[in-house]
Amino acid sequence: MYKDILLPIDIYDETLSWEKKLNLALEYSTAFNSKLHILYVVPSPQLSFVQHHFFQSSRENYKDKIIKEVKAMLKDFVAKNIPENIEVSSIVGLGSVYDCIIETSEKVNADLIVIYAHRKGLTDYLLGPNAAKVVRHSNKSVLVIRD
């Protein structure tokens, strides 16, 4: 039923991002013999005028360094958490989280996006802003995992 599954994660936050949905994505990938696409989005830096003025020359180096670091972390993540029988790709996006999720789902032709929607505090019963936007704007099926 699902040939390509997109799993956006925050590799820096195991408990709120990928711990629960990874197990479910692995079950789906195994059951349907699906390819699993793991996505981490590096938010584009929102620099003030002063930061832009002083750090413009090093900004590209900063982005390159972050992307290189995340690619290495994703490689380790896959080696530690994804069984060898599951075909997997690691993708690093840059920009707004929900835009990158939607764009990547189109690029990889995902049949399913598995996303986590837990928010602390009063918003526990609502979708987070990224999850809500993905659900509203994506033309792909979205499986929302709640705590």
User: What is the rounded average pLDDT of the residues 27-46?
Assistant: 89
**Contact of 114 with 147, CB cutoff 8 Å:** no
CATH class of 4-145: alpha beta
Between residues 131 and 74, which one has the greater pLDDT? 74
N- to C-terminal Cα distance for the chain?
Answer: 25
Buried b (16+ CB within 10 A) or exposed e, 61-96: eeeeeeeeebeeebeebeeeebeeebebebbbbeee
Mean model confidence pLDDT for the chain: 81
The tens digit of pLDDT for each residue in 63-72 reads 778 888 899 9
The model's pTM is 0.82
What count of residues does the chain have? 147
Give the integer Cα–Cα distance in Å for 5 and 35.
6
Q: What is the pLDDT of residue 112?
A: 96
The tens digit of pLDDT for each residue in 122-137 reads 444 455 677 778 888 8
Whether residue 54 is predicted with pLDDT greater than 50 in this model: the reply is no
> Of 8-22, 60-74, 106-120, which gets the smallest average pLDDT?
8-22
Q: What is the pLDDT of residue 120?
A: 55
Confidence of residue 80 (pLDDT cuts 50, 70, 90): very high
Whether residue 81 is predicted with pLDDT greater than 60 in this model: the reply is yes
Domain ranges of the chain: 4-145
Q: What is the pLDDT of residue 17?
A: 56
**Contact of 5 with 37, CB cutoff 8 Å:** yes
Q: Please state, as a whole number, how many other Cβ atoms lie within 10 Å of the Cβ of residue 30.
A: 13
Whether residue 28 is predicted with pLDDT greater than 60 in this model: the reply is yes
User: What is the rounded average pLDDT of the residues 84-102?
Assistant: 93
